[in-house]
């Protein structure tokens, strides 16, 4: 090939490459995704005897974990504020007295959610939405105290909770009965809370009839999924262990399959809500701060 033609071709290629990289730089400008803020509150601790670990299909020799963390979360989105999970009932406040004893297990709550919420200048009437992974007593502790938020609940959970005869283990209607009068959206599947895909409820039934998990697209930590009670222990995830009190074992396993697939496809990280070690880990994550309440963005 003539040297002149070759030289011209090299110049053209170089020019195109520069144009392409300039265009690329333009499209990769810093993201302007609005920030979503996730607050994590300490809404109690559950502690189990070796023997009662069997409720979770875990044996005492398999794990040293005996404490389960009980969180409440508040999600701040520019379109509104969501309460996710309600923790232990406020009347289980033990404070300095330590543990409230039950048969083979105990619980403690050092500070009410309301008291902690006040630390960030909010009250129980400041929620646009409330959603719970499910209605077990350790997830809806403050449900009856919320004033005015719209409840987002799967139909199967709602029907089981307000049936004439409530048969789901650990459902205590007296703790959530006011939800029946709340404004509500009854769901039959996934729900995009603020319409931009960044805060989404995803059904994961089996633990209870209408159990759900929460996907959050946070800016700094990246996308996460708050597990509800899909798992209680890290070990439950590793070995796909289904608690004996789940209402449907097959549905639980299907939900595990579905959510694990979703995690793979979305690249989201799973946060096991009850895992105390996970809570300690969150405190140290880049993008998360303790001031005055632990929050991640």
Residues at the contact surface with Zn ion, assessed by CB under 5 A: 136, 229
When the beta carbons of 85 and 229 are compared against Zn ion, the nearer one is: 229
When the beta carbons of 36 and 88 are compared against Zn ion, the nearer one is: 88
When the beta carbons of 127 and 132 are compared against Zn ion, the nearer one is: 132
Q: How far is the CB of 257 from Zn ion (least distance, A)?
A: 19
Q: How far is the CB of 107 from Zn ion (least distance, A)?
A: 13
Which tokens belong to 138?
Answer: 């350790």
Alpha-carbon Rg for the chain in angstroms: 23
When the beta carbons of 136 and 295 are compared against Zn ion, the nearer one is: 136
Which tokens belong to 204?
Answer: 């994961």
Determine the Cα angle at 217 with ends 116 and 78, to 5°: 65
Pairing of strands 212-218, 222-226: antiparallel
Pairing of strands 37-48, 212-218: unpaired
When the beta carbons of 77 and 136 are compared against Zn ion, the nearer one is: 136
The answer to whether the CB of 73 falls within 8 A of the CB of 282 is no
Q: How far is the CB of 261 from Zn ion (least distance, A)?
A: 22
Which residue in 160, 137, 254 sits closest to 205, CA to CA? Answer: 254
Q: How far is the CB of 136 from Zn ion (least distance, A)?
A: 4
Q: How far is the CB of 272 from Zn ion (least distance, A)?
A: 12
Residue 63 has phi, psi (to 5 degrees) of -150, 150
């Amino acid at each position: 090939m003539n040297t002149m033609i070759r030289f011209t071709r090299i110049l053209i290629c170089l020019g195109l490459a520069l144009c392409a990289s300039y265009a690329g730089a333009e499209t990769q400008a810093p993201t302007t995704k609005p920030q979503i803020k996730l607050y994590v509150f300490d809404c109690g601790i559950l502690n189990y005897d070796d023997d009662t670990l069997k409720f979770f299909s875990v044996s005492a020799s398999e794990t040293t974990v005996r404490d389960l963390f009980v969180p409440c979360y508040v999600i701040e989105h520019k379109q509104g504020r969501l309460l996710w999970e309600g923790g232990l009932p406020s009347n289980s406040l033990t404070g300095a007295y330590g543990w409230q004893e039950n048969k083979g297990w105990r619980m403690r709550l050092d500070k009410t959610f309301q008291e902690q919420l006040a630390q960030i200048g909010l009250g129980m009437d400041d929620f646009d939405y409330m959603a719970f992974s499910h209605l077990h007593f350790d997830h809806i502790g403050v449900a009856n105290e919320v004033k005015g938020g719209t409840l987002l609940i799967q139909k199967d959970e709602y029907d089981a909770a307000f049936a004439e005869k409530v048969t789901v283990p650990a459902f205590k209607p007296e703790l959530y009965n006011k939800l029946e009068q709340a404004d509500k959206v009854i769901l039959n599947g996934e729900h995009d809370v603020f319409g931009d895909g960044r805060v989404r409820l995803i059904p994961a039934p089996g633990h209870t009839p209408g159990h759900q998990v929460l996907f959050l697209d946070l800016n700094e930590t990246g996308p996460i999924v708050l597990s509800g009670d899909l798992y209680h222990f890290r070990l439950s995830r590793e070995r796909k262990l289904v608690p004996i009190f789940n209402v449907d074992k097959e549905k639980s396993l299907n939900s595990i399959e579905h959510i694990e697939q979703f995690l793979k496809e979305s690249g989201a990280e799973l946060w096991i809500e009850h895992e105390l070690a996970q809570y300690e880990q969150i405190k140290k994550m880049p993008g998360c701060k303790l001031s005055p309440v632990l929050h991640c963005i």
